[in-house]
Amino acid sequence: MTENAATSTHTPTGTPVVGIVMGSDSDWPVMQEAANALREFGVAIEVDVVSAHRMPTEMIDYGRSAAERGLRVVIAGAGGAAHLPGMLAAVTPLPVIGVPVPLRYLDGMDSLLSIVQMPAGVPVATVSIGGARNAGLLAARILASGVDDDAARLREKMVAFQEGLSEQAHAKGAALRASVAGERRTGFGA
């Protein structure tokens, strides 16, 4: 394990099963949403900066040691020439979720194309530009696909989460329909 990985932040308590890494601490405002989503589901995480370009040896060590350290999914966010997710996918057998981080120029399109255009045999699941929350939710779903009790509990939480989304959407529809009262009411649920 690298010295940097040894000092990473672990939350909540327990052995981390998802690693959230980024090329720079300036990516944290975006990547924090992945951590928040996983915290909502009670998933233990570690968070670190592992730059593909500024610390390539440590990045490779992180990826190679991830599975033996107990991680089951890696979420990697990077901007610009976003090589971190793909390079980690090249050196770990674990699923890697790439988050294109938008920067000042090109609005993250460069990051998206760098992450999504991987060669055959080196898959990276890629979410939308700045879509770290969905990366966290996807990691939770990957963990929930298991057959143990932890996976079953996580599936229950995911079902409740999805039901909550549905309730929110129904409430928004009802509010919109109510706001146009007096006009011809149309739409689902009218």
Domains of the chain: 3-144 (3.40.50.1970), 149-190 (no CATH)
Distance CA 100, CA 29 (A): 13
Residue 33: strand, helix, or coil: helix
| pLDDT score of 124 more than 90 | yes
- C-alpha 36/C-alpha 80 separation (Å) is 24
> Residue 14: what pLDDT?
84
pLDDT at 46 over 90: yes
The two tokens of residue 138 are 């996807």
Residue with more model confidence, 11 or 42: 42
Of residues 104 and 83, more confidence is placed in 83
- How large is the average pLDDT for residues 132-137? 99
Residue 28 — pLDDT band, cuts 50, 70, 90? very high
Task: List Cβ neighbours of 9 (8 Å cut-off, separation of 6 or more).
Answer: 46, 47, 48
Residue 178's alpha-carbon distances to 164, 173, 184, 187, in angstroms, are: 21, 9, 11, 12
- Tell whether the model's pLDDT for residue 179 goes beyond 70: yes
Phi and psi torsions of 46, nearest 5°: -125, 150
Three-point CA angle 35, 103, 75, nearest 5°: 30
d(CA 183, CA 166): 25
Residues 6 or more apart whose Cβ sits within 8 Å of residue 166: none
Quick check: 18 and 45 in contact, CB under 8 A?
A: yes
Residue located via tokens 């129904």: 170
Q: Maximum CA pair distance of the chain?
A: 66
pTM of the entire predicted model: 0.88
Please report the beta strands in 108-153, taking only residues with DSSP state E, as ranges in sequence order: 125-126
Confidence of residue 82 (pLDDT cuts 50, 70, 90): very high
Confidence grade of residue 181 (pLDDT, cut at 50, 70, 90): confident
Q: Tally Cβ neighbours within 10 Å of residue 170.
A: 12
Q: How confident is the model at residue 30 (pLDDT cuts 50, 70, 90)?
A: very high
